[in-house]
Amino acid sequence: MVEGPDRDALLGSLREVLGALGGLPAGAVEVHTLDSLSEPDIPVVRVVTGGRGDDDGPAFGPRADLRLAEEDSSDPDSESVDVDGAYGESLPEQLDATLRMVRLARRHRDDPLPDPPGQIRLSPVDGHEAVQTVFVGSQRRTYRLRCVSGVLLVEADTRRVGRLTPGQTVDVEARQLQVAATEPSEGRYIRLRT
């Protein structure tokens, strides 16, 4: 068991590394120290080509779904890296640690449609109305539509039932649901289970 200054140094280093990952909420990380009798599985780190350059700034947007890659020794662009001693000296055995990431529920955002909504993209040509079908079926279904840009004209069962401008949403139940536009327009939609 690691105690005293060694434990504080280890936890401080872990906090610094996790802080560099950015924006992890409290409780998302658990740190467990291992006693010197246990033998943890030492991961193999592979460096692959591609990705962001060293001079690229931070990227903002939704967090990526991270997963462990399958073992693939046939990849010619990868190499194994021994992390023991990567910082000039190896850590004493009693400072080994296990890190477990806990996935938290997403927080609601301003967008009233959850991920991933369907995409609406209309680009009229030569002043003609552009149309996109959202749903056609024998049973009525309810969809929530949201206008992101332009103006969306909503048609339910061949009747025009609404006009949406940016930020507006509408719930529509129909056997045939289409959106139309006379100017470049974008929107989102999702099926509501009622």
pLDDT given for residue 183 in this prediction: 94
**Fold assignment, 118-192:** Jelly Rolls (2.60.120)
What does the alpha-carbon distance between residue 11 and residue 6 come to, in Å, rounded to a whole number?
9
Sketch the domain layout of the chain as residue ranges. 5-101, 118-192
pLDDT given for residue 40 in this prediction: 54
- Calculate the dihedral angle through the C-alpha atoms of 46, 49, 52, 55, rounding to the nearest 10 degrees: 100
pLDDT given for residue 117 in this prediction: 81
Q: Report mean pLDDT in 10-residue bins for the chain, 194 residues.
A: 67 69 55 50 60 66 66 53 48 49 48 70 90 92 92 93 92 93 93 81
pLDDT given for residue 28 in this prediction: 55
